[in-house]
Copies of this chain bind each other. A is one copy, B any other.
Amino acid sequence: MRILVTGAAGMIGQKLVARLAAEGHVGGRPIAALLLHDVVAPAAPPGLAAESVTGDLAGPGAAAELAAFRPDLVFHLAGVVSGEAEADFELGYRVNLHGTLALFEALRQAGSHPRLVYASSIAVFGAPFPEVIPDDFHPVPLTSYGTQKLMGELLLNDYTRRGFLDGIGLRLPTICVRPGRPNKAASGFFSSIIREPLAGREAVLPVPREVVHTHASPRAAVGFLLHAATLDAAAIGARRNLTMPGVAVSVAEEIAALGRVAGEAPLALIRDAPDPAVWAIVRNWPTRFAATRARDLGFAAETSFEEIIRIHIADELGGVVPRPAS
């Protein structure tokens, strides 16, 4: 099996590539060749021969070069995140829309008909919402990022219907706990308030503790991608974009879970500092999803926020739970 990963140097991309390298196969089919692409040089995984190409996916000829690899499976993860796509209108459209258009067109013209797994986002939804968002609720994005992701979903569905691709779009919830330094996503604080206190650093909470949001771990995100890679297409039907499951919790519940896992000490490092600019964005975000179709198709996330924190500790902190303050 020949696999292409775009956005391979990103947070999810790196974790996916590490998992592919560790397993050596996808759904029992051995990985014969792996091509990694990103605008930042992607690191080669240990133990698996991989080529890598560094460049702008939307640049002239870039997508055609990737399509010439004739992948059987594509993970399309390259993207400019929400905060940046909102701050830089042209960059967001260039990467998220035109990069995706270029990739799909190049794959159509190359004719290798790959299974393509696309990282979409719950940012395709915009307020007002029902209490729980059903699978057939209309997506009306309130950000340029959400607009671009949804346009990619529509292309994916049409290219699949026409037989040019075998696409599956995954509307990922906010992936948490995001490791490393904070990025430009407006959702960053959901991770900071767990990651930073666990590391003994202060974290700022810019929204009220009543805010409810849906999360899955980076490990669950990689699980979604791999499940989509091997799913029987007939089971999915004509609607190829799926809202992924996750854990819907309030910020207060997240903080309580942190206390149960790591004791009271880290909680004192969370400083409430309401930020009207962040709140203006976050209050238009979706909260809870039914995700019925995805669950029925076997996509599974964590079942509690405590589990999400424990996965962060296992995968990023060497399994060491910081000693609770006595």
Contacts and interface: CB of A to CB of B under 8 A. Distances in A.
Contacts of A144: 158, 162
B238 A126 contact: yes
A150 interface: yes
A97 to B, nearest CB: 8
A236 B117 CA distance: 36
A201 interface: no
A138 B141 contact: no
A140 B241 CA distance: 10
A117 B320 CA distance: 59
A64 interface: no
Interface in A133-155: 136-142, 144, 147, 150-151, 154-155
Contact of A139 (B138, B141, B151): B138
A157 interface: yes
A238 B128 CA distance: 10
A25 interface: no
A157 B138 contact: no
A161 interface: yes
Interface string A118-140: 00000000100000000011111
A157 B162 contact: no
A254 B257 CA distance: 63
Contacts of A158: 141, 144, 147
A271 interface: no
Contact of A138 (B136, B142, B151, B161): B136
* Max count, chain B CB within 10 A of own CB: residue among A126, A140, A144, A238: A140
A238 to B, nearest CB: 7
Contacts of A151: 151, 154-155
A142 B238 contact: yes
B147 A155 contact: yes
A51 B238 CA distance: 45
Interface in A269-291: none
A154 B141 contact: yes
A220 to B, nearest CB: 25
Nearest to A89: B162
A162 B143 CA distance: 9
A239 interface: yes
Q: Which are the 5 A-B pairs with shortest beta-carbon distances?
A: A147-B158, A138-B138, A136-B138, A147-B154, A151-B151
Interface of A: 89, 126, 136-142, 144, 147, 150-151, 154-155, 157-158, 161-162, 238-239
17 contacts: A126-B238, A136-B137, A136-B138, A137-B138, A138-B139, A140-B157, A140-B238, A140-B239, A141-B157, A141-B158, A142-B161, A142-B238, A144-B158, A144-B162, A147-B157, A150-B154, A151-B154
